[in-house]
């Protein structure tokens, strides 16, 4: 598909009242943001490529995410691997961290995280609970080989161990 495919799709769907979530990299992400999706979910590497700068501190990540929010994206959720994830809106900045678990494969962890985040949004959890649920899903996913999905019992165990810190309110 062409690089502007997501941008065109977001414009079309949001014109019909949908809330769009974009998980992409490079040019499709840059162009997709111009259509102002509801949420984007870059990982640490992707947000660095998007902004064209190294984001080595928590404050630099927050600053970059806030710039994207100010451009019209309602929420930026950045996955940070072992360092957790951040959710940034105009009103809130949350940083979630997870307990150490045995890592068998990172394949699909970001997708499991995003599926958990969408589930939290659909269930109308608070942003804090949504981020906690997403972190539990992503963390549970790394515990299995290959592309295996997270398991409900693991998600439930990990959920209560996720720590959320509010940075800005």
Q: Give the catalytic positions in this structure.
A: 111
- Which of 76, 132, 138, 133 has the alpha carbon at shortest distance from 112? 138
CA-derived radius of gyration, the chain: 15
Element of type H or E holding 73: none
What is the side-by-side strand order in the sheet with 21-22? 21-22, 39-40, 75-79, 85-88, 93-97, 163-168
Q: Are strands 85-88 and 93-97 parallel, antiparallel or unpaired?
A: antiparallel
CA 155 centroid distance within chain: 17
Give DSSP secondary structure letters for 90-154: SS-EEEEE------S--TTHHHHHHHHHHHHHHTT--HHHHHHHHHHHHHHHTTSSTTPPP-HHH
């Amino acid at each position: 598909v062409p690089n502007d495919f997501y941008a065109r799709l977001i414009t079309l769907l949001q014109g019909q009242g949908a809330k769009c979530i974009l998980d992409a990299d490079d040019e499709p992400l840059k162009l997709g943001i111009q259509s102002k999706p509801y949420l984007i979910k870059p990982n640490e590497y992707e947000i660095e490529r998007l902004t064209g700068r190294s984001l080595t501190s928590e404050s630099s990540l927050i600053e970059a995410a806030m710039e994207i929010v100010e451009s019209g994206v309602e929420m930026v959720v950045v996955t940070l691997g072992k360092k957790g994830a951040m959710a940034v809106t105009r009103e809130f900045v949350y940083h979630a961290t997870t307990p150490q678990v045995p890592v068998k494969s990172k394949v699909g962890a970001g997708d499991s995280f995003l599926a958990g985040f969408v589930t939290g949004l659909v269930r109308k959890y608070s942003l804090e609970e949504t981020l906690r649920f997403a972190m539990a899903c992503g963390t549970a996913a790394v515990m299995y080989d290959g592309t295996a999905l997270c398991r409900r019992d693991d998600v439930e165990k990990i959920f209560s161990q996720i720590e959320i810190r509010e940075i800005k309110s």
